Structure formats: C-alpha cells, structure tokens
Structure 1
Amino acid sequence: MTDRHTTPVPGTVPAPVSGPTFSRRRFLAASGVLTAGAFPLAACGGEPGGTSASGAPSTGGAKALDTLAFGVASISDYLNPLSTTSSRVHWITDPVVEPLYTYDASLKSVPLLADGEPEISEDGLTWTVKLKKGVTFHNGDPFTAEHVAATLAFVTDPKSTSDWTAYFVGYVAKVTAPGDHTVKIKLTTPFGVLRSHLTNLPIVHKDFVKRTDTTLGTGPFKVDKVTQGQQVTLTGHDAYHGTKPTLRGVAFQAVPDPATRLVNLREGKIQIMTGVSPESAGLLKQDDKIRVHEIDAPSDIVTYFQAAKGPFTDAKVRQALGHAMDRKGVRDVVYAGTASIAQGPIGPATEGHDPSIRLYAETPDAAKAKALLAEAGVSSLSFTLTITNDPVMKNIGQVLAEGWKQAGITCTLEVLDIGPWVKKWASGEYQMAMTGFESGFGSGRTAFTLLGQMSSRNPLNFGYKNAEVDRLLGEAWAATDEAARAEACKKIGKLLADDAILLPPVYPKMIVAQRADLSALDETLMSVSRVALPPLRSA
C-alpha cells in the first residue's frame, strides 16, 4: 500500500449513495480506492477545533510547563488533512486546522469558524453559512469564504482522491462564496448529517488544499518543523482568534516499537502514548505515575459478507456463524478483557447503539448454530475469511476459527497485506471479509460510515438488500435533528442484527496513556476520538 493515504487501521465503509446513483468505478475513484490502492480511512483525531486547546487549568499550585511530547506509532510523510482521515495525520494537524463547527463539553456541535448556526432553506437543499470575522491564518492572510469554498471543492471532487470525498459525493452539488464571509452549499437531496461532516472537516488555506508536505490553518498551533517520518513539532499561534493555548510547543515523535513507547512514557521522555495495546494497558495501570484511559470511541470490527452468492445468501447461515462466534475468546485473548461483548453492529460510542439487543451468547452455541444450518438445508459449511495481516486481526481470525470449529464449521483464514485485501474487498472477490476501522474523526458519533455499505444503492454492497434499511438510511442522513437520526439508526441496527449481516465479535476501546503529572485528558472528547492538549505541571 502506498503512503498516499498512510497506513492507519483500514476498513472505513464508504458513505451510502441513497441520493443520486453513481457507478461503482466512479464511487471507488471518489473514495480513493482505485487511484490510491486504499479506501477511506477514518481515524483518531487530535484537538478538534481549538476551543479546548488550552486544556484544563493546572491544579494544586504546580508550575505549568510549556512543551508536550506525544509518542506515536508512526508519522505519515503526508500532512494534508484533506487527503486522509488517518490518525497518523490528524493527531498532528487537528491543533493546526479548524472546522466550521466544533464539539462543546457535552459533544454538541457549536460554531467555531462559522458565525452562528447555518441557515437551511425550506426544501433543505441550500445551506448558508456565515463566517466569523477577524480570523487569520498562520501566515497572516484573512480567513474568508474563498478558503472554505476551496476546501469543499477539493473534497467533493472525485479526481482529488480525498478520503473525505466519500462523505460528500452524491450529496453536495455546488459550493459558492457570494461574499467574503458567506458560503452557500447546494445539495442534491436533504442531507442533515452534513452538520456532522462540517464539524469534522478541517478548513485549510486555499493555497494548501493540494499540498502534501505541510498544512496551513487557523488553529492555536502552527507547523514548525517536519522531519519526514520521524518527528513533527508545532508552536503556539500568537494571533489565535480564540483562547490562547498555555502550551508553547507540541512534539509528535514516531516510536514504532510499543515497548519502547512504554519505556519512554515511564521515563518522562513523552507525556502521552497513543496506540496502547491491551497488554500494555494492564502493565501501565500498575504504575502510579501513569494514567490509562480506556474509552468507548467509534472503533469497530466489521464483517462484510458476499451475500450475492453462496453460502451467505441465506440469513440463517449468517446467523449460524453469529451463534458460533467465540466473543469471550476475542475479548479475553485478543483484547485482554478491555473490549466489550458485541451484539448489534453499532457500538456504544456511535449513534443508534441499542444495548437491549441480546442475540448471542458470549461463548459458541454449537447446538443453535447446527440447528440454523439444518433449517437452511446446509449439511456442512466451509468458507474463507479474508483478513488483513496486522497482529490483532490475525489473532481475532484464529480465535473465531477455533470457535466455529466447535459447530462443525470450517473456516480457512486468508491473510493479506492491506493493498491486496482492499482490492479483494472492493471487487467483491471474497466470501467473508473482516477488518477494523475507526470512524471518530470523519464521522464523529454518527453511524454514517459504519452503515454506508448496507444501502442497496452503495456500489460496494455485494448482495444485501433490505428495502426498510434503504428507507431508514435515507431518513437518517436527511435528518437535521440528531435524536431523529439516532432513532433511525437504532432501527437500522436492529434490522441488520436480525439479518446477521454485520457481525462484530466485540466493541474495542480506544486506549491512551499519559503521565499522571499531566492534567487529565478530557475523556468526553476522547469518546469522539479527540484529544485536547492540556498543560503540563511539574511536581
């Protein structure tokens, strides 16, 4: 896989095309699949909009320090947040670039670069957004509508191969700037979930929308120095339009080896460690100098069935697999007890999660699985599960294969590098495919990416058709009311759970560790994969 879209957790499902119909090839190109050998990748982001960049105040009279060091698994060679939704980019660029709206302390979307709420026409097809005045980019240029229009033009252009394109393609018809501080967005169909997209999409200086080596924004920090693949440093932006950050600098250091990151954290060489493994979390919890956060965030394990041909055309066969899944084994063996047992397709951090769904036991129910196969007229079941070659997915595959064996189901694991996996997934050349993805940065708490492929109009839907799911998807994405959208997604989740078309064994958690002498990270923001930048305090 090329580094065009970096190499974060793969598997983001492209947005549903419930409005205008697009050819599969055009959709894949718009999503970056054909052109980059990857599909949209959603990931953990950093501080979303600058309003919380100053972090919590120091406590106990401790002296505030001025530099924060992150230890991350890797740093992308690309620093354009409009090209990708990868955590390798957005952990770094979120303090630099800002969206039109941001999250408040209760995760409500509130204006940031926008000056108030959008004006939505009666037919829902025109959104007018007024922009805040007096804001400047880091180079001193004024923030105006032309930069917003340029950003939206880039992410809505299929030729850009931006990961963000899948959030807008088919819905946004045209973006204009009728005034210096006014933006008009013309839609093809009512699209209330656009508010969530505008809460996550960073606005970049118009001259930087296609740059890959750096970025320019309006945030509380600006890019200082980039050592490709190794380190990126940020410095405070003195002319920031919001509350000035107490931190003067932030450094992101690539430390690929998890054990080395752990040692660096304990020794104070870094203050925040991302990509904490479940095993490391257990060790770090024993250190009173370390604070570990295990957060329900939009992080999912997703299964894709080739439902257009056997053996998974029959829901009873899929249900049999669901009942024979060793969910407890995945939770305890792969995730060291940190994940929670999954039932429906929607996890606890995503809108539409329904904790009342109780379909499956924690351990394999071989008798139930065999009975369902008999009802389907299947005397024996053998299939191939296609997974990516990262250690977590391989371990999940091995645990599941052993569980299915108890029900007489034979699973052959096909383990592929990300590039070949994507090609098989995008072409439908699989029986069952499984991967993990994090949708928090791109989708926030919405189920937009998670449920997208379930639309029968989606070019990446391979055989699953449910007219009620199609209807509810259209209703969900059109809704401007979050509660109404969540209720529609809840109904969709129940239908998909009953049809066993998405079968996550567990809901993983986002795990981040920090030094205890650092003001506590905001766990509410972490539930949408954001990490605010708190001040340090010395002992």
Structure 2
Amino acid sequence: MTVALSTDPTAGVWAVYGGVMPYYTNVLEPLIWVSDDMKLVPWLASDWTSTGEKTWEFTIRDGVKFHNGDTLTAEHVAWSFKTVLNEWSYAPGWLHVKPENVKVLDDRTVEFTTTDVFPTFPGTIAHNMVAIQHPERSRENKEVIGTGPFKVTDRKKGQRVETKAFEDYWKGAPNIKSLTYRAITDPTTRALALENHNVDVAYSPPTSKIKSLSNNNSTKVSKQTSPGAMYVGLHNYKEPTSDPKLRKALNYGTSQAKLVKSILNGVGLPARGPIAKSIYWSAHEKLPTYDRNVRKAKQLVKKSAYNGQELTFLVSNGTTSGRTIATALQGWYDEIGVNVKISQREEAAFADAVRAGDGHLVLESSSSNSGAADYLIYETFHSKGDVNERLYKQNGTGLYNPGGKVDTLISDGFQTGDKSEKEQKYEKALQIIMKDEACVVPLTYQQYVVGSRTDVKGLDLRPINEMVRWPGTKHVKQ
C-alpha cells in the first residue's frame, strides 16, 4: 500500500530519529497515545502517576520489542527524552522538563521532574514528536529503530520511506505487509496519483476535487474533525478594533455556515469559539452564536469608534484558501460599512507584521497535535502566552487578551489536573473572550480530508491526523 503525504517524511528536522518522520508512519511510538475522542491511552507506558507537586513516575510496558530485537527498558525511554530535549531548543520549555530531570528509577520506571507545577504533563507528551527510539539508531546512516508496527526497509531523501510489517509488534502483527509513504507536496498531483492508482491513500486533496473523488467508483473521501480552529484575531489594543462594539459588529457581519458551505466546499464546521469543539473544555455549546445580522452589525459600527478608516487584514501565504476566505470576509464587512484592506504576505513577513502589531485583523489558526491542548488557550489568550507576548512590552497585555480576570481563569485552569474544574475555568474565560469582549471572530472548526481507493478498508483516522493508525487497515478484493 502506498500513502501520499503532503509533507516530506525524510526532512532534515527528523535527523534525531535517523531521518524518518514520527508522524503518520507508525515506525516510532510515544509513551501515551490519543484516542479518537481525544482521551489519553496508555501506550509504551502502561501507567503513570503524579508522585509530588512536580514529579511524575511512568511505568514502562513489559514485553515491547524494538525493531532490532532488543526489549524496551526505562533506559531507552530516558535516553530518548534527553536526546529530544537536547536536540530542539524549544523542547524543555514546551515539555516543562530539562534533560537532567529525567531519571531512571529501575528497569521499568522513569521519573520526570517538571520545571513548574504542570498537571497536563502526561497529555503534553502524548505526542509523536516525543517518540521512543533505540540508542543504536544512526543519524549518519539514516537508520531508525523504533517499536512501531512497521519498520523501515528503505528511504529516498525528499521522496519516500518504505516500510514492512514488524511481525513481533507488541500489539500483534499488522494486516498490511508493507507501506510506502511518498512525498507529493502539490495537492492536485496527490489527487491525480490517487485517481490513476499510483497511490492507495492521499492526504489533503484540494477541496475542488472532493466531489469528483467521492463520485468516482474507484475512490472515496473521508473527513475527520481535528482539534484545530480558524479565526480572525482582532487587535484589542489598536484603534479602532480596540472598541468592543466594532469587534462585535465584525462578528455579526460574519456567516460561518456560508463560509464553510460556499467557500470551503463543506470542509469544516461552523465555529462559535477559537478552540475546536473536539477539545472537551472548548465550551462550544455555551458560547454565543452571533449569526450574520447585517442590521445589528451596522448599528454597532455606528455606535463604535470606527469612522471609516481602512483596517489592515493580515493573511499568510501559507494558509490554505487564506486569500479566498479573507476576500469573502472583506465583502461582508463592506456591507456593514467597514473598509478592510487585505495584506497577504509570505510566512516570515506575516509573522513579523503580526509581532509588530501592523494588522487590525489577522487570519489565525490553532491546533493541537498532542493530548493536552491547554497551551492553545494559554498561548493565545493569556497575557504572557507566546502569541500575546509579541506585543506584551508595548501595551502591558496581549494581542487578543482582555485583561486580568481572563489571565487568572486561564492560569487556574492551566494549573489544575481536575477535568471538571479545568472545564469550568476555561469556560468562564472563553465567555469573556467571546461574549463580553468579542476578542476574535471564530470561523471554522477544521477538518482534514483523506482520499483513498475503495478497496482500502479499515482506515483508522484520528482527530490528531499525525496519529493515524495503519495496522488494522487492509486491501479487500473488489
């Protein structure tokens, strides 16, 4: 079976793993997996527990074999974490752990001491980028040694990774005997490769091809709601979007349902908030539905500080359909009397412009590829979160942050491991963000699309698309 990916599975960033991407390929595995309903699942760790305010102990599963035949131990786990923490400068901050604070207690137990109180540590490492590998893997020879259901047999830089089933896999041998992952970066080319049966599965075909792939007797399309959301960030500290009345007017001027149906070809779900509804604390059901109301939007514009000035709408070239989405919004906002100019820029220039506070409106998206998604609300809406600190020194708070009460609620939610308490705190914060202050205009809860041949059965997609599972997938004769 051949899978067409939109990204290169041999990219240089994956040298730490012997040159093979841990996403999608099922060659490498983390300690914790994430289920199809975003719950944590014991994986290479059979159990974990908090043993102190900042300490965690993980029990390593018995009987797991590496592709070279060695048995997984706590030493392998500690070595893997230290390697990643030393490899990527951002990893210690992201994981809240320093290399020296990963300790082997015995053959089956690893202790992690976090740099601060961090109840979401288990969910944060439920992430394929924190994969467990054997120390004998070779960066120089591009050899990867993992524990997954498939092991690498060959790779061609920039083109493909070839694997075969690992018969000694701890969860049983896979149905498929071999899997090849091809890098096909152009979406139209991926769709054509699927139609011509050069591949069996193709990630992210263009939305314009979804209908034809669905109507083709030889191909089918699957949609999976992800933990991602798209929204328009409104600069809360730059006139005139500093006025909540104008921000609410822009919300009333937007039709999420029409955007999904007409502009995005049915890919995505209309959003109420900036956090995907698949994340349990998103408060989706309890957030206001502004709905498009031109009359009310016009009234709010007249009452606001807006006096006809041109608002800059920053859009990145790297955002799929970004220009199309921005153009639709521009038309809707013109109808309510708000003049918007689209400024589309290369990704680096876009990031610089956002940091400099150049835009009134910014087309943003957020997503989690780990089991713990708390950082989504912290980084964007806490005044000291990464996104907000772009302007923190200039105005004393963040780009989309409404102030002290939201900071307190987010901090309290971030520091608790109690799910119901976390949900309550984040819900209150999101109510302020969306209902009281209208800090952003939510657009869609994102979905990703996978095309496949009709003889491919048992495709096991997950909300976190990097965590797709292939062992149960198989070819069925038509």
TM-score (structure 2 length as normaliser): 0.85
CA contact (8 A) 1:298 1:528 kept: no
Alignment of 1:96 with 2:34, yes or no, is no
Measure, in 2, the Cα distance between the counterparts of 1:138 and 1:282: 41
For the residue of structure 2 that corresponds to 1:268, the secondary structure is coil
1:493-531 alpha-carbon deviations (Å, 9 max, x no partner): 2222122223222223221122221113235x3466632
Residue 50 of structure 2 corresponds to which residue in structure 1? 120
TM-score (structure 1 length as normaliser): 0.76
CA contact (8 A) 1:298 1:444 kept: no
Aligned-partner residue type, residue 71 of structure 1? A
Aligned counterpart for 2:122 among listed residues 195, 198, 213: 195
For the residue of structure 1 that corresponds to 2:4, the secondary structure is strand
CA contact (8 A) 2:15 2:142 kept: no
Measure, in 1, the Cα distance between the counterparts of 2:39 and 2:428: 23
Alignment of 1:518 with 2:449, yes or no, is no
For the residue of structure 1 that corresponds to 2:46, the secondary structure is coil
Measure, in 2, the Cα distance between the counterparts of 1:241 and 1:431: 53
Alignment of 1:75 with 2:12, yes or no, is no
More strand per residue: 2
Aligned counterpart for 1:404 among listed residues 333, 336, 348: 333
Q: CA deviation at 1:474?
A: 2.3
Q: CA deviation at 1:467?
A: 2.5
Measure, in 2, the Cα distance between the counterparts of 1:428 and 1:137: 49
Q: CA deviation at 1:161?
A: 3.4
CA contact (8 A) 1:297 1:529 kept: no
1:87-106 alpha-carbon deviations (Å, 9 max, x no partner): x944444x011111224566
Aligned counterpart for 1:492 among listed residues 401, 412, 429: 429
1:345-377 alpha-carbon deviations (Å, 9 max, x no partner): 22222222322433321x4x3332333233333
Aligned-partner residue type, residue 96 of structure 1? V
Q: What is the identity percentage for the equivalent residue pairs of Structure 1 and Structure 2? A: 21
Q: CA deviation at 1:415?
A: 0.9
For the residue of structure 2 that corresponds to 1:273, the secondary structure is strand
Alignment of 1:469 with 2:406, yes or no, is yes
For the structure 1 residues 430 and 90, does the alpha-carbon distance in structure 2 shift closer, same or farther, using more than 3 Å as the test? farther
Q: 1:103-182 maps to which residues of 2 (within 5 A)?
A: 103-104=34-35, 107-116=38-47, 118-121=48-51, 123-156=52-85, 160-162=88-90, 164=91, 167-169=94-96, 174-182=101-109
> Aligned-pair RMSD on alpha carbons?
3.0
Measure, in 1, the Cα distance between the counterparts of 2:111 and 2:38: 25
Residue 509 of structure 1 corresponds to which residue in structure 2? 447
Gaps of 5+ in 1: 1-67
Number of aligned residue pairs: 459
Alignment of 1:228 with 2:157, yes or no, is yes
Alignment of 1:345 with 2:268, yes or no, is no
Alignment of 1:359 with 2:286, yes or no, is no
Aligned-partner residue type, residue 311 of structure 1? P
Q: CA deviation at 1:209?
A: 10
Measure, in 1, the Cα distance between the counterparts of 2:211 and 2:378: 33
Measure, in 1, the Cα distance between the counterparts of 2:138 and 2:381: 31
1:270-323 alpha-carbon deviations (Å, 9 max, x no partner): 221111232221222212332321222112213334333323323222222222
CA contact (8 A) 1:389 1:416 kept: yes
- Greater length-normalized contact order (CA 8 Å, ≥ 6 residues apart): 1
Aligned-partner residue type, residue 467 of structure 2? R
Gaps of 5+ in 2: 392-397
Q: CA deviation at 1:384?
A: 0.8
For the structure 1 residues 178 and 530, does the alpha-carbon distance in structure 2 shift closer, same or farther, using more than 3 Å as the test? closer
Measure, in 2, the Cα distance between the counterparts of 1:172 and 1:491: 36
